[in-house]
């Protein structure tokens, strides 16, 4: 029997104790209907369909209807016709889960590599080192009580984020943006600049050309050298695209559970949801919110909750998975259902703004709409005072920008407004950052303190490198 994809190494190839067969009785849309395996299989099981020209196509059972199993394929459905045999490998009870959920043989040799969701290399750099590890793609998050607390704040290397969405190790942030506003560029910056041991990057449903551009231009060789990329392009099946998210999460969990500080970057959660929508609708679910069936909104928190601190393990320091999930805000509509749900689950959000990008101010982060829920707890009082002042100035400048542009603003009537007109543009310029530039967290605060000068109580003089840790 051919090895199941994702279980290619002999150590994993927990040899099946037998094999059952059924038959394709119907092919429609993205689904094949299989007769004969119903009493032995469950939703989520993998089966192997033999095409008319003798190829093996991996498929997953997504539903049962009228005594027959509905399966979707991981590759193109072409070549499958009524009558094609379908095989289900039987494993012992213990090994069943491994085979079914497709464990990934993650190890250190994956760092610097690009793989598909089944763990097969896509970068032409030769095979990965074998491993007996089987990292479950569909793992469950640790129970809340078993989890370590968030770690100290993490240096993201990007001024606007370090200052206005200060993030702690193990925190999960959403990155909300329309298309072409600079998501990929920012993700590349984070992968290179963030103070972490390993970056795991999940690219879900991007076009092949975009993936290449991301690896070569945004990530660069130094970013790639400490990253693992799990990629399923837009032309791959909905199941593959779904697994690009689950697979990357499994890889990140592996490194986290070794005590490492991991940065997970997922681009994008929206495409993951669209893949789930395709699967759900093909399985016969009813579309509810904007065409998304209810199962999407059940799966989303189960995925996102897996990011975060690792399990507490006695005296040893638990690993941390800090995560940034990008959300494609369709039509720049912030109330779109995926946007809304993700915002509610995560510990903070960063908004990229088209108007800012159009004005050429990159990274196009809208500071006023972005927030991190661990602030102010993770910053010193002087730092909090600084960012509050900066936000107030930026908000006021935002209100007055048009007046100033029209020449309708008269200085001298309101000291605070005058200050906003003077400092607002300087702040905006300060937050601009070239994509190759690294600004450490402490320097970002020091630069802001210098720009704003002493506050009412002269607090900015008290800026130190302290960091509050719970
Ligand atoms: N930090 C930056 N500095 C300069 N230009 C940028 C920056 N970020 C984005 N851009 C410009 O915006 C374009 C789109 O960015 P990209 O990251 O591909 O957006 P998205 O992934 O959101 O579609 C880039 O081709 C580039 O011209
Ligand atoms: Mg992009």
Give residue 140 CA to ligand 2 midpoint distance, Å: 29
CA–centroid distance, 284 to ligand 2, in Å, is 31
Give residue 115 CA to ligand 2 midpoint distance, Å.
19
Q: What is the mean pLDDT of residues 398-422?
A: 86
Residue 420 has pLDDT above 80, yes or no: yes
Cis peptide before 376 (omega within 30 of 0): yes
Pocket test of ligand 1: the residue of 180, 181, 182 to mutate, having most ligand atoms within 8 Å of its CB, is 182
Asked whether 116 and 248 are in contact (CB, 8 A), the reply is no
Q: What is the DSSP string of 299-334?
A: HHHHHHTTSEE-B-BTTBPPPEEEEEEEEE-GGG-T
Spatial distance between the Cα atoms of 420 and 397, rounded to a whole number of angstroms: 5
pLDDT digits (tens, 9 = 90+) for 111-167: 999 999 999 999 999 999 988 888 888 889 988 888 888 989 999 999 999 999 999
The pLDDT > 90 percentage for the chain reads 66
Secondary element (H or E) of residue 94: helix 93-101
Query: Tokens 């909750």 sit at which residue?
Result: 305
Top pLDDT among 252 and 4 is at: 252
- Apex 377 CA angle, 372 and 383, nearest 5: 85
Q: Which atom of ligand 1 is nearest to the CA of 267?
A: 21
> In terms of C-beta density within 10 A (0-12 exposed, 13-18 middle, 19 or more buried), how is residue 105 classed?
buried
Site of tokens 């399966």: 71
Considering only CA atoms, which of 272, 251, 310, 244 is closest in space to residue 104? 251
| Joined tokens for residue 403 | 């007046």
Read off the tokens for 396: 């006021």
Q: What is the pLDDT of residue 290?
A: 84
Nearest protein CA to atom 27 of ligand 1, as residue? 182
Residues lining ligand 1, Cβ inside 6 A: 177, 179-185, 362-363, 435
Looking at residue 134, its pLDDT comes to 86
Place of tokens 């992968």: 191
Burial class (CB in 10 A: 0-12, 13-18, 19+), 204: buried
Q: ∠106-107-111 over CA atoms, to 5°?
A: 100
- The pLDDT confidence band at residue 459, using thresholds 50, 70 and 90, is very low
Position with higher pLDDT, 43 vs 465: 43
pLDDT digits (tens, 9 = 90+) for 340-395: 899 999 999 999 999 999 999 999 999 999 999 988 788 899 999 999 999 999 99
Nearest partner of 104 among 289, 285, 243, judged by Cα: 243
List 275's β-bridge partners, or say none: none
- In the predicted structure, residue 82 carries a pLDDT above the cut 80: yes
Q: How confident is the model at residue 316 (pLDDT cuts 50, 70, 90)?
A: low
For ligand 1, atom 8, name the residue with the nearest CA.
Answer: 182
pLDDT above 60 (res 256): yes
Nearest CA to ligand 1 atom 4: 362
For residue 297, give the nearest of 342, 364, 354 by alpha carbon: 342
The full DSSP string for 102-171 is T-B---GGGTTEEE-TTS-B-SSS-PPPP-S--B-TTPPPPPGGGBPPP-SEE--S-HHHHHHS-EETT-
Angle between helices 441-452 and 381-406 (to 10 degrees): 60
Pocket test for ligand 1, best of 178, 185, 266, 438 (most atoms within 8 A of CB): 185
d(CA 203, CA 194): 18
Is residue 458 pLDDT above 60, yes or no?
A: no
Relative to beta strand 320-328, strand 261-267 is parallel
């Amino acid at each position: 029997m051919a090895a199941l994809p994702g279980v290619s190494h002999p150590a994993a190839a927990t040899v099946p104790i037998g094999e059952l067969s059924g038959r394709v009785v119907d092919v429609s849309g993205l689904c094949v209907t299989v007769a004969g395996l119903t009493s032995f299989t469950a939703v989520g099981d993998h089966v192997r369909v033999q095409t008319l020209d003798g190829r093996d196509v991996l498929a997953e059972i997504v539903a049962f209807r009228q005594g027959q199993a509905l399966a979707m394929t991981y590759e193109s459905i072409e070549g499958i016709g009524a009558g094609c045999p379908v095989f289900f490998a039987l494993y012992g009870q213990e090994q069943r889960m491994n085979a079914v959920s497709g464990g990934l043989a993650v190890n250190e040799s994956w760092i610097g590599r690009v793989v598909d969701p089944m763990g097969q290399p896509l970068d032409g750099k030769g095979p990965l080192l074998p491993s007996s590890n089987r990292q479950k793609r569909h793992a469950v998050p640790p129970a809340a009580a078993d989890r370590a607390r968030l770690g100290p704040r993490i240096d993201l290397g990007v001024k606007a984020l370090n200052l206005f969405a200060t993030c702690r190790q193990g925190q999960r942030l959403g990155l909300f943006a329309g298309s072409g506003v600079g998501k990929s560029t920012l993700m590349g910056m984070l992968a290179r600049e963030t103070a972490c041991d390993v970056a795991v990057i999940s690219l879900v449903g991007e076009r092949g050309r975009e993936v290449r551009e991301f690896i070569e231009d945004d990530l660069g060789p130094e970013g790639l050298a400490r990253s693992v990329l799990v990629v399923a392009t837009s032309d791959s099946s909905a199941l593959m695209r779904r697994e690009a998210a689950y697979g990357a999460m499994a890889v990140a969990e592996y490194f986290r559970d070794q005590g490492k500080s991991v940065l997970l970057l997922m681009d994008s959660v929206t495409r993951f949801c669209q893949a789930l929508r395709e699967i759900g609708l093909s399985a016969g679910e009813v579309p509810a919110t904007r065409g998304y069936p209810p199962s999407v909104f059940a799966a989303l928190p189960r995925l996102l909750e897996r990011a975060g601190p690792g399990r507490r393990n006695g005296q040893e320091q638990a690993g941390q998975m800090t995560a940034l999930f990008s959300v494609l805000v369709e039509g720049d509509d912030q109330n779109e259902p995926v946007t809304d749900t993700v915002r509610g689950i995560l510990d903070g959000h960063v908004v990229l703004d088209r108007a800012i990008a159009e004005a050429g101010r990159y990274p196009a982060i809208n500071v006023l709409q972005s927030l991190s829920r661990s602030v102010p707890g993770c910053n010193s009082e002087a730092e909090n005072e600084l960012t509050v002042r900066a936000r107030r100035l930026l908000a006021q400048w935002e209100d007055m920008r048009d007046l100033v542009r029209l020449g309708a603003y008269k200085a001298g009537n309101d000291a605070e407004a005058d200050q906003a007109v003077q400092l607002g543009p300087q702040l905006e310029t300060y937050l601009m950052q070239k994509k190759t530039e690294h600004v450490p967290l402490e320097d970002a605060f020091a630069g802001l303190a210098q720009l704003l000068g002493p506050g009412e109580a002269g607090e900015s003089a008290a800026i130190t490198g302290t960091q509050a840790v719970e």
